[in-house]
Structure 1
Amino acid sequence: MSVVPSTDSHGLSAGDAKLVYMVNQIATFFASQPHESAVSGIESHIRKFWDPRMRRKIRDFILAGGTGVDPLAREALDRLAD
């Protein structure tokens, strides 16, 4: 029986990696817009469509020093914490 590792080579859990991937995809979608519109759009999308547990998990990941989150997404996530 094969065991799937719970973290990747960078220490990301599968759940964290999925959330980072998702938030970066959202940031890529909004990146062509002016900065403020992009950050607001990312924030709005996450607020509307992400479960509070998902928002809490990505916030905890960032607070723990997690990396790999697009800067636009990071700014939007910081606003969600306000």
Structure 2
Amino acid sequence: MGMNATQLIKMANQIGAFFASQPDPQQAREDFAQHLKRQWDPQMRSALCTHLDATEGEGLSAFVLEAMQAHREQLEPLARPA
């Protein structure tokens, strides 16, 4: 994997800052999650979720944390069939 957690956090916070400027906070969190689902590959999303679990989201903005917690199922790559 080419991306480390620091890069992912920085990117997530930058994207979060863009969506956080929207007037409706609930919609903004949903749009943020949808953006990551569409634009980030599963490894990146998985790594961000792993970071969230391991560190309680260290380094992530409050907006990104809330969005990830509210829309975790969209961010989590689909479990591969056993």
Give the aligned partner of residue 62 of structure 2.
71
Distance 1:29 1:70 in 2: 12
| Per-residue deviation, residues 41-71 of structure 1 (Å, max 9, x unmatched) | 1111001111011011000011001401112
Instruction: Give the unaligned 5+ runs of structure 1.
Output: 1-13
Instruction: Give the unaligned 5+ runs of structure 2.
Output: 75-82
Give the aligned partner of residue 27 of structure 2.
37
| Rg (Cα) greater in structure | 1
Secondary structure in 2 matching 1:17: helix
Which of 22, 26, 34 is the aligned partner of 2:15? 26
Q: What is the percentage of aligned positions where both structures have the same residue?
A: 32
Distance 1:48 1:75 in 2: 19
1:55 aligns to 2:45 (yes or no): yes
The Cα of 1:80 is off from its aligned counterpart by 2.4
Superposition CA RMSD, Å: 1.6
Give the aligned partner of residue 73 of structure 2.
81
Structure whose residues are more often helix by fraction = 2
Deviation above 6 Å: which 4+ runs of structure 1? none
